[in-house]
Amino acid sequence: MSSPSLPNARTPTIQISEEKYSASLHVKPLGTRVQFRCTISTVNPASVLNPFVDQVHEHLLKAGAKDVRVDFTELEFCNSSGFKSFIYWIQKIQAAGDKQYRLRFISSPARKWQRTSLLALSCYSPSAVEIG
Amino acid sequence: MTTEPSTTPRPIYLMLRMKPPWVFVDEIRRFVESFCSCACPGETREAQVALAVHELMQNAIPHAGGESVDLTLQVDPAADRIEIAVSNPATDEQFADFKDRLDRINRAPDPLQSYLRAMAEAPMNQRGGLGLARIRFEAQLELSITREGNRITVLAWGRLRAPQLQVSGDTHV
């Protein structure tokens, strides 16, 4: 299990890398993107993902972000325990008062589970979730 | 006398018995998705069925205590039905707890509302609490549980040709 890391000050990338999946924050001039890769299917992924979400959320609040792209295009699968980390993220956004930002999910049409999972997330919080 | 091949598609069965370390769950999900694609060409249920199998297996494995977990998948194109059964050993307490959770989920007539409530109530820092509601909404399958001896079987079933999920306007909690 790895903790979120900030590699160095010049590349403020927050990232985690597990045996089955990874997640990373990419800050670019055109906007911020959080990418999830491979398969989130371990027993309790929240123990790794929630601290990552905490760090990303703090970064976005400090940056005054209005939205962030959440890239699922290389995410093969996410189990319900991992899915809860995205609910956790939404709950943190909802608690952020006037600093709230939106999660703009980018999905892959080839990974059909993503459509229904993101549909459910958008119903959970229409104000915080947008499906691209 | 010759026998003409039947034009009515027959039910297709898949049965797996595993003493499963957790790591095989991904392989099973991939296999089920591929199996459904082959068994029902032209249908679009494979990803939903694979998701349901994954969640049911993840529920079953922690309770199996080293004993086998059995998966049975039945696809019946003629009857427009798909059925998944996952069985594992369970104690009286585990059965009662599972049945209680399932009853609460099934009590809500709208699978989406039930799922949204589970999202709002599920503990965020520990596993569990969302999988069954996820199956009911995302995989569009009904759920029930039976017990025989020391084994429980969770059954998930529904239409093979389920309509595409749609939600209407103000559905959030």
Domain ranges of chain A: 15-131
Nearest one of B41, B51, B23 to A76, comparing CA atoms: B51
Backbone angles phi, psi at B111, to 5 degrees: -60, -35
Sequential pLDDT tens for chain A (132 residues): 455 655 444 454 799 999 999 999 999 888 899 999 999 998 889 999 999 999 999 999 999 999 999 999 999 999 999 999 999 999 999 999 999 999 999 999 999 999 999 999 999 999 999 997
Nearest one of A39, A7, A6 to A22, comparing CA atoms: A39
Among B25, B44, B173, whose Cβ lies nearest the Cβ of A124?
A: B173
- Tell me whether residues B122 and A79 touch, CB distance under 8 A: no
pLDDT at B80: 93
pLDDT at B170: 47
State the sign of the Cα–Cα–Cα–Cα dihedral A87, A93, A97, A100: negative
Please give the residue of chain B at the shortest CA–CA distance from A39: B26
Which one has a higher pLDDT value, B123 or A32? Answer: A32
pLDDT above 90: residue B166: no
Strand order of the β-sheet with A67-78 is A15-17, A21-28, A31-40, A67-78, A102-106, A129-131
Query: What is the C-alpha separation between A67 and A54, in angstroms, rounded?
Result: 16
Question: Does A79 contact chain B (CB < 8 Å)?
Answer: yes
pLDDT at B173: 42
Query: What is the C-alpha separation between B173 and A30, in angstroms, rounded?
Result: 33
Domain ranges of chain B: 12-122+130-159
pLDDT at B60: 92
The tokens of B149 are what?
């001896």
pLDDT tens string B18-68: 986 677 899 999 999 999 999 888 778 999 999 999 999 999 998 888 889
Compute the average pLDDT of residues B152-160: 96
Q: What is the CATH number of domain A15-131?
A: 3.30.750.24
pLDDT tens string B66-106: 889 999 999 999 999 999 999 999 999 999 999 999 999 99
pLDDT at B5: 61
pLDDT at B81: 95
Please give the residue of chain A at the shortest CA–CA distance from B130: A80
Which one has a higher pLDDT value, A1 or B150? Answer: B150
- Tell me whether residues B130 and A81 touch, CB distance under 8 A: yes
pLDDT at B39: 86
CATH topology of domain B12-122+130-159: Heat Shock Protein 90 (3.30.565)
- Specify the pTM: 0.90
Q: Which residues of B touch A123 (CB under 8 A)?
A: 112, 116, 167, 171-172
Cβ(A70)–Cβ(A105) under 8 Å? yes
pLDDT at A122: 96
Q: A80-94 and A46-63 helices cross at what angle (nearest 10)?
A: 30
Q: Which residues of A touch B119 (CB under 8 A)?
A: 84, 87, 120, 124
Query: What is the C-alpha separation between A45 and B125, in angstroms, rounded?
Result: 9
Backbone angles phi, psi at B70, to 5 degrees: -110, 135
